[in-house]
Amino acid sequence: MKNTLSTIYKSIINFNFKTLYSDISLFTVIFLSILSIISIVYKINLENIGNKIFLHFSLIFIITFLAPLLINFFNIKRLSLLNSFIITLIIFLLIDPTQNTIITSIMCGLALFTRLFVRYDNKPVFNSSMIGVGLVALFFSIFTIKGVEVKPIISWWGMNFQQILVDYKMMLSGLLILLAGIYISYKSKRYILASAAIFFMGIFWITDYALFTQIRDFKENMSVLIEMFFQGTLVFTIFLILIDPITTPKKNKSQIYYGLFFSLIFAYLFFSKIDNAIIYSIILINIAFYFVKILPTLRRLLRPQLRKVIEKITEKKSQIKKV
């Protein structure tokens, strides 16, 4: 805890604007904070639900930020507080403030649990801002509670503030997120991954139009995609969530494959009209990347066992021939 506080203190004392744009985690926190403030102001003016927004943020903040702070304090595990706050803000902007508090708590609790315990090479396997939300959404899409269908409200409300503006500026939210996202992806050395995801997504949409889709269906899908882009949902996902340096590959070639398979999974789920396709796509690509990472270890562990099996088979064959 002392180390954490001293780091924060030094950062404040030595702060300059160069630090702001050179420290990518700090830049991301500030950008998400600005986005959150704009969204809060718009939501309060539109629906007058300031109390619910405050409760919503407090709940997420306690579980995803204060809990890691206490974990650091008791030296249970070292967790980056900047990353914790990024997770807090993403979940805050993702889940609707009118969401049931119990469901929100479960989402945040799962995010913290997987961040602490589902790890490989001392890093989380899953994107912490997506896994809790995705698992809860999947659970309630399959099961009902006492015969009542429960649907978590994953509204991406923090990326839809363009409605506060006049019509000719409706793309401002998407543009702001795009510009910040391009800079974040460049500084985190994941711009190839983001570019690959956008490129292959475009290829799959064109292929769907050329081979499978009627004109009407294609226009409907494209209109949904363009709306997602201008609202900032798709741009936010690709440039601020998908490129998470902790759960994505470093090598350029691997980033291209990662972007390819993410786009393939997303296109399949989207055309299948599955809700929360973006979230499920990120979770599935996290799982696939995890198996790719552990493949060399599995080979190393299983190779001696395979050799023994092969030796036994050859021995039995030789015995049969002798007989």
Q: What is the pLDDT of residue 171?
A: 59
* Closest C-alpha to 4, from 64, 65, 58: 65
pTM of the model: 0.83
Per-residue pLDDT reduced to its tens digit, 288-306: 999 888 887 777 777 777 7
Q: What is the pLDDT of residue 13?
A: 52
User: What does the alpha-carbon distance between residue 167 and residue 79 come to, in Å, rounded to a whole number?
Assistant: 43
**DSSP strands (E only) in the chain:** 119-120, 123-124
The structure tokens listed for 32 are 């998400």
Domain hosting residue 296, numbered range: 189-323
Q: Are residues 154 and 213 in the same domain?
A: no
Q: What is the pLDDT of residue 193?
A: 94
Ramachandran quadrant class, 122 (left: phi over 0; alpha: psi -120 to 50; beta: rest): left
pLDDT-above-70 percentage for the chain = 75
Report the 10 Å Cβ neighbour count for 34.
Answer: 12
Report the 10 Å Cβ neighbour count for 223.
Answer: 10
Q: Are residues 194 and 154 in the same domain?
A: no
Q: Which helix (H) or strand (E) segment is 18 a member of?
A: helix 17-22
Q: Are residues 50 and 130 in the same domain?
A: yes
pLDDT-flagged residues of the chain (< 70): 1-22, 144-150, 160-174, 208-231, 309, 311, 317-323
Report helix angle 277-322 to 252-271, nearest 10. Answer: 110
Q: Are residues 3 and 91 in the same domain?
A: yes
Q: Are residues 118 and 261 in the same domain?
A: no
Q: Are residues 148 and 225 in the same domain?
A: no
Say if residues 137 and 276 touch (Cβ distance below 8 Å): yes
Per-residue pLDDT reduced to its tens digit, 254-286: 999 999 999 999 988 988 888 889 999 999 999
Q: Are residues 145 and 261 in the same domain?
A: no
Q: Are residues 153 and 193 in the same domain?
A: no
The structure tokens listed for 122 are 């001392």
User: What does the alpha-carbon distance between residue 181 and residue 198 come to, in Å, rounded to a whole number?
Assistant: 13
Per-residue pLDDT reduced to its tens digit, 39-80: 888 778 777 788 889 999 999 999 999 999 999 888 888 888
Say if residues 165 and 116 touch (Cβ distance below 8 Å): no
User: What does the alpha-carbon distance between residue 156 and residue 298 come to, in Å, rounded to a whole number?
Assistant: 39
In a domain, 182, yes or no: no
In a domain, 181, yes or no: no
Report the 10 Å Cβ neighbour count for 94.
Answer: 24
Q: Are residues 38 and 85 in the same domain?
A: yes
Q: Are residues 84 and 195 in the same domain?
A: no
In a domain, 176, yes or no: no
